[in-house]
Amino acid sequence: MPRTLIAGNWKMNGLIANLAEVERVSAAVSPSSEGPELLLCLPATLIAAASSRSDGSHLKIGGETCHPKEKGAHTGDISAEMLKDAGASYVIVGHSERRADCGETDQIVASQAAAALRAGLTPIICVGETLSQRDAGDVLDVISTQMAGSIPENAAAGAIVVAYEPVWAIGTGRVASSEQIAEVHRLVRDLLVKRFGDAGRGTRILYGGSMNPGNAAEILGVDEVNGGLIGGASLKADDFLAIYRLAAQ
Ligand code: PGA
């Protein structure tokens, strides 16, 4: 069984004052914890400070996106190497908000994930269908296409994480049913095994979309769910830790 990963995604939320929440999370878990991995992906402005404030703790810090290149004339962008330098160990790539807001295609997402691997970060590669794609019965096709296009050539099964986030469940309070989650996670697992052989059984597959302390136990109990990517409920230390504790049971 792959080790569970409980990952927060603060999105475009958080000022220096909110680092108190990061400190509360890192102080609440024992440094030697053998339970699930615990991660907060933060706005780039907070990564260096959050990393130093959680140094030596069980909590890891990640970024929310990265540019495919290492450096150069790309005003406003942030490279995977810069995230690593600031103390990150993970980075989310291909979140549906970036696919929609910034026109990030599968090809761009694959190049960002490759950049993460180059820099020594673990990419969390997001896939997920929109409501109209689900209504049209295209879920499995959409996920298969995103999986084929978004995982870079040079990836090893253990070096990446995949997150299934149905777009209609993100920030809406509308959670996918256990059956819907199980169906897609099974498909993702099959695709990983096809691509990586047996090693594909070790890749973590996270669920994301309106996960909270009230529904986390059920979601985490679904077959092939190896953790969660949590937006809104990761902003408050109490909620995020409640989900972590459920995962640790
Ligand atoms: P949510 O966001 O938990 O607020 O729905 C999840 C995500 O977008 O990663």
> Would you list the domain boundaries of the chain?
5-248
Please give the average per-residue pLDDT across 116-139, as a whole number.
97
Distances, alpha carbon 104 to alpha carbons 99, 149, 166, 230, in Å:
4, 12, 17, 21
Residue nearest to atom 9 of ligand 1 (CA): 231
Instruction: Return the active site residues.
Output: 95, 165
Give the separation between CA 110 and CA 107, rounded to whole angstroms.
5
Q: What is the pTM of this model?
A: 0.98
More confident residue, 30 or 147: 147
Please name the amino acid found at residue 75: T
- Among 12, 93, 124, 170, name the best residue to mutate to test ligand 1's pocket (greatest count of ligand atoms within 8 A of Cβ): 170
Distance 209 CA to ligand 1 centre (A): 5
Distances, alpha carbon 52 to alpha carbons 224, 234, 248, in Å:
34, 19, 25
What are the tens digits of pLDDT across the range 140-173?
A: 999 999 999 999 998 999 999 999 999 999 999 8
- Among 230, 236, 239, name the best residue to mutate to test ligand 1's pocket (greatest count of ligand atoms within 8 A of Cβ): 230
Q: Which CATH number fits domain 5-248: 3.20.20.70, 3.30.1390.10, 3.90.1150.10, 3.30.930.10?
A: 3.20.20.70
As given in the structure block, the two tokens for residue 33 are 């914890």
CB-based contact 188:224 (threshold 8 Å): yes
Distances, alpha carbon 157 to alpha carbons 6, 100, 153, in Å:
19, 27, 11
Looking at the CA of residue 208, tell me the nearest atom of ligand 1. Answer: 6
CB-based contact 66:93 (threshold 8 Å): yes
Residue nearest to atom 6 of ligand 1 (CA): 231
Looking at the CA of residue 212, tell me the nearest atom of ligand 1. Answer: 3
Distance 174 CA to ligand 1 centre (A): 11
Shortest CA distance to 4 belongs to which of 51, 55, 39? 39
What are the tens digits of pLDDT across the range 224-240?
A: 999 999 999 999 999 99
DSSP 100-145: HHS---HHHHHHHHHHHHHHTPEEEEEE---HHHHHTT-HHHHHHH
Residues at CB less than 6 angstroms from ligand 1 = 9, 165, 170-171, 208-211, 229-233
Please give the average per-residue pLDDT across 182-198, as a whole number.
98
Query: Per-residue b/e over 212-235, b at no fewer than 16 CB within 10 Å?
Result: bbebbeebbebebbbbbbbbbbbb
